[in-house]
Amino acid sequence: MVADVIIETPDTTTLVLFTGNDRLEYLAGHFLTIDPHQFESLERFISFLEDLKGKREPPRAYSMSSAPHERYLAVTVKEERYVSGTTKFPPLLSPLLVKRTLRGMRLIVTGFTGPYTLGPDVNAQTDHIVHVCAGSGSVPNFSMLKFALAHHPRLRHTFVYSNKTWDDVIFRDELGRLAAQHPDRVKVLHTLTREENHAVFGPAVRRGRLDQALLREAIPAPDECLVYVCGPGISKFDVAAAKASGAPPAPRFLESVLGDLKAIGVPDSRVKREFYG
């Protein structure tokens, strides 16, 4: 049952889920899935999309923004946009989860799974976790950060977070609070690509795209840290569209960060990644 609905940003909502007495065994970084067919209000839209696409609409994955030691389960969803001339189909599920889900509603969720987690040997591998995220890509990293602060006291974290504007930053206050509470263990570096208010910029809030210079600053010892990268990457739809046009698909956040990490000398074995299509 949806126990609470927290508006994080104009297009992002956290759904806090009450699951009765079920034991919730998940790892920070895991995701659950939500099948859009369970929502009666989507029935006609789904039939129409399935006719157009010629296939059944699959369940959508959502990472937990809660951490396993917290009382409630929570997911944080960013609404996908339909951009005329760019997006092939209107997004199906995220608009409903973000804008039309009310406290008291019941959802069927399936989980929990995913390889994007802190391994059991994380302390043997490093004392510095570098989170590199864009948009809703911060969701699993936020869960890992909260969990590690509570359960891995030896780990330090640098959280590098790219967004369009200051108002798009999900968990902005909470990240600030964690950095203030753990000054020796948490450093947050924001970078904003389209912010026009000069007043928001400062040492912890940079201007522009995430680049090698910022990553170098966040990663002083490239072969000693573990980097967790999460955000949008080239989707199978981008690949198909590129094939049709004859040009290679343009790199998105994930590909561009992976290239930059390689360029600054972070071994691939020290980079974990989660792709949000």
Ligand X SMILES: Cc1cc2nc3c(=O)[nH]c(=O)nc-3n(C[C@H](O)[C@H](O)[C@H](O)COP(=O)(O)OP(=O)(O)OC[C@H]3O[C@@H](n4cnc5c(N)ncnc54)[C@H](O)[C@@H]3O)c2cc1C
Which residue of 136, 143, 163, 191 would you call a contact of ligand X, by CB under 6 A? 136
Residue 146 in the binding site for ligand X (CB under 6 A): no
Residue 61 in the binding site for ligand X (CB under 6 A): yes
Which residue of 66, 68, 73, 78 would you call a contact of ligand X, by CB under 6 A? 78
- The footprint of ligand X on residues 9-38 (CB under 6 A) is 31
Residue 34 CB, shortest distance to ligand X, in Å, is: 9
CB < 8 Å & 24+ apart, contacts of 255-264:
256/209, 256/210, 257/132, 257/210, 257/215, 257/229, 257/231, 258/229, 260/210, 260/211, 260/212, 260/215, 261/132, 261/215, 261/219, 261/227, 261/229, 263/212, 264/212, 264/215, 264/216, 264/219, 264/222
Nearer residue to ligand X within complex by CB, 22 or 51: 51
Which residue of 17, 42, 67, 77 would you call a contact of ligand X, by CB under 6 A? 77
Binding mask 81-120 for ligand X (x = CB under 6 A): ------xxx-xxxx-------------------x------
Nearer residue to ligand X within complex by CB, 30 or 190: 30
Residue 216 CB, shortest distance to ligand X, in Å, is: 28
Kindly state the tokens that stand for 268: 């691939």
3-class state of residue 225 by DSSP? coil
User: How far is residue 92's CA from residue 165's CA, in Å, rounded to a whole number?
Assistant: 25
* Per-residue DSSP letter, 125: H
Residue 237 in the binding site for ligand X (CB under 6 A): yes
Residue with tokens 């970084």: 29
* Per-residue DSSP letter, 272: E
Pair 254, 212: CB distance under 8 Å: no
User: Cis omega (within 30 of 0) on the bond before 142?
Assistant: no
Residue 92 CB, shortest distance to ligand X, in Å, is: 4
Q: Considering only 58-66, 165-173, 186-194, 201-209, which stretch makes contact with ligand X by CB under 6 A?
A: 58-66
Residues that bind ligand X (CB under 6 A): 31, 53, 60-63, 76-78, 80, 87-89, 91-94, 114, 136, 139, 237, 274, 276-277
